[in-house]
Amino acid sequence: MTAETITAADIRINARWLIPVEPANTVLHHQAVIIQGDRIAAVVPRQEADARFRTRETIDLDHHVVLPGLINMHGHAAMSLFRGLADDLPLMTWLNDHIWPAEGTHISPSFIADGTQLAMAEMLRTGTTTFSDMYFFPEVVAQMAHDAGMRAQICFPLLDFPTQWGTGPDEYLSKGAEFIGQWQGSEYIMPAIGPHAPYTVSDDPMSRAVALSADTGARIQIHLHETAFEVTEAIRNAGKRPSARLAELGVFNNRTQCVHMTQIDDTDVALLKESGAHVIHCPESNLKLASGFCPVQKLTDAGINVAIGTDGAASNNDLDLFGEMNTAAMVAKVVAGDAAALPAHHAIAMATLHGARALGRDHELGTLEAGKLADIIAVDLSDPFLQPVYDPASHLVYSNHGRQVSHSWIAGVPQVQDGRLTRIDVPDLMLRVKSWSDRIGNR
């Protein structure tokens, strides 16, 4: 082969195993991922890469599985500073008596900045390259993610009552529209609308959120059917299930992300299927708060896209999506009464491609394919207690923990190298976290 046929590129990643996510249920052996700029130029066998490409950097990962960066589709990043603050309590007690009072005392732009950076450090270190956030001061979260080079869907909060970020729906929607305008079109930041829940947002602001979404294309993420109490109260007060009310208000469409969905019946499934809305499954938070079980297999069988999220560290208590995949797979089997429900490859797809679909970016993210953005992670499977490795997909879901992530790239830029974060100063961050811990602990 002549020199003219050899292509120059930036980075070559040699992988022992590679899970592209598409085609589904596929594990490739001894592959090379070629990165040029912020995109994947090729995914080919190593011998073919030897003949076709010359790169300025080659990374040999002889004991690793390489796969797309994980997409954490729901969380409240800054709540990492409330990790472990009020455990072992029912949802409404946890919110009303502990979390909302703590937020009233401590939430500020500096709290959001430090808590978000703590969350990003944990997520990057455990394989997440894109996250969705719904919390106060979204402009601060967006700037922190952008500065760190991390992709994020940032949902501005919408509630009927005042918070530290605004006096009520009018101000939230006004500031939110400005926020969307500021970040729309960004490669990294995806501005979105975050009506908190049906029980905290009344019809008028909900309808205005729908109109804003239609005007801008911004996605809507909402906590929905999280507990039996929520559904029972809605029926008692309004005579209809929350999903029926939202459907009447026009909330449901293919830009809508419904978080939790532990209390659903066939009418809810039909609404989701007809509208093209997405479900975001947060199994560990739902288990910890005794909220219930999302019937993932039933939704999947109906053709509904189900992605996965951790929720906030205050109700999880970690942001490790590998652990979330494990829990999701285990719970799905019990709920469906079928050991074959939600197999390992499907769980991985939920944390990658399905998240990309919910974001409307599956043409760019969620799989390892030529032309897609180079958001890639590598997981070291050389640990003695991960041996033997018959099926790396099985190990990722059933045996692995996120701390085995050794490398991470976002848009071809290294974020984790040999298990070390490259763009977050962890010692400095820990000093700020300690300061917040002292203040919150003395509340």
Q: What is the pLDDT of residues 56-114, one digit of tens each?
A: 999 999 999 999 999 999 999 999 999 998 899 887 888 889 888 999 899 999 999 99
Stretch 277-297: mean pLDDT? 96
Q: Which of 415, 358, 382, 391 has its CA nearest to residue 128?
A: 415
Cis peptide before 388 (omega within 30 of 0): yes
d(CA 220, CA 398): 32
d(CA 164, CA 354): 33
185 within a domain of the structure (yes/no): yes
pLDDT of 176 strictly over 50: yes
Say yes or no: 315 and 294 in one domain: yes
**b (16+ CB within 10 A) / e for 295-317:** bbbbbbeeebbbbbbbbbbbbbb
403 within a domain of the structure (yes/no): yes
Can you give the pLDDT at residue 313? 93
pLDDT of 402 strictly over 90: no
Can you give the pLDDT at residue 356? 98
239 within a domain of the structure (yes/no): yes
Distances (CA, A) of 17 to 342, 379, 399: 22, 10, 16
The average confidence (pLDDT) of the chain is 96
Say yes or no: 54 and 104 in one domain: no
Q: Which of 319, 301, 300 has its CA nearest to residue 309?
A: 319
259 within a domain of the structure (yes/no): yes
Say yes or no: 200 and 338 in one domain: yes
Residues 290-329 pLDDT 10s: 999 999 999 999 999 999 999 999 989 999 999 999 999 9
Say yes or no: 403 and 277 in one domain: no
Among 299, 332, 359, the domain boundary falls at: 359
Stretch 196-205: mean pLDDT? 97
d(CA 167, CA 149): 32
Say yes or no: 112 and 201 in one domain: yes
Say yes or no: 82 and 217 in one domain: yes
Say yes or no: 28 and 49 in one domain: yes
Residues 223-266 pLDDT 10s: 999 999 999 999 999 999 999 999 999 999 999 999 999 999 99
Can you give the pLDDT at residue 91? 79
Among 292, 324, 359, the domain boundary falls at: 359
pLDDT of 420 strictly over 60: yes
Can you give the pLDDT at residue 441? 83
Can you give the pLDDT at residue 123? 98
Stretch 160-177: mean pLDDT? 97
Answer whether 9's CB lies under 8 Å from 337's CB.
Answer: no
More confident residue, 20 or 98: 20
Can you give the pLDDT at residue 1? 42
56 within a domain of the structure (yes/no): yes
Answer whether 310's CB lies under 8 Å from 379's CB.
Answer: no
For residue 261, what is the domain's CATH number?
Answer: 3.20.20.140
Residues 327-356 pLDDT 10s: 999 999 999 999 999 999 999 999 999 999
Against a cut of 0.95, is the pTM above it? yes
Say yes or no: 92 and 210 in one domain: yes
2-16, 276-290, 403-417: segment of lowest average pLDDT = 2-16
281 within a domain of the structure (yes/no): yes
Say yes or no: 267 and 314 in one domain: yes
For the chain, the residue count is: 443
Among 326, 359, 392, the domain boundary falls at: 359
Stretch 398-425: mean pLDDT? 95
pLDDT of 443 strictly over 90: no
Answer whether 381's CB lies under 8 Å from 404's CB.
Answer: yes
For residue 58, what is the domain's CATH number?
Answer: 2.30.40.10
Q: Which domain holds residue 58?
A: 3-68+366-411
As given in the structure block, the two tokens for residue 173 are 């929607």
Per DSSP, the three-state class of 224 is: strand
Per DSSP, the three-state class of 410 is: strand
Say yes or no: 283 and 376 in one domain: no
Stretch 117-131: mean pLDDT? 98
Say yes or no: 18 and 108 in one domain: no
342 within a domain of the structure (yes/no): yes
pLDDT bin (cut points 50, 70, 90) of residue 124 is very high
321 within a domain of the structure (yes/no): yes
Instruction: Return the residue matching tokens 């605004």.
Output: 166
| Positive/negative CA dihedral, 197, 77, 144, 150 | negative
Number of domains in the chain: 2
Answer whether 354's CB lies under 8 Å from 159's CB.
Answer: no
Helix 203-216, helix 169-183: angle, nearest 10: 10
Say yes or no: 159 and 222 in one domain: yes
Residues 23-57 pLDDT 10s: 999 999 999 999 999 999 999 999 999 999 999 99
Q: How far is CA 89 from the centre of its chain?
A: 25
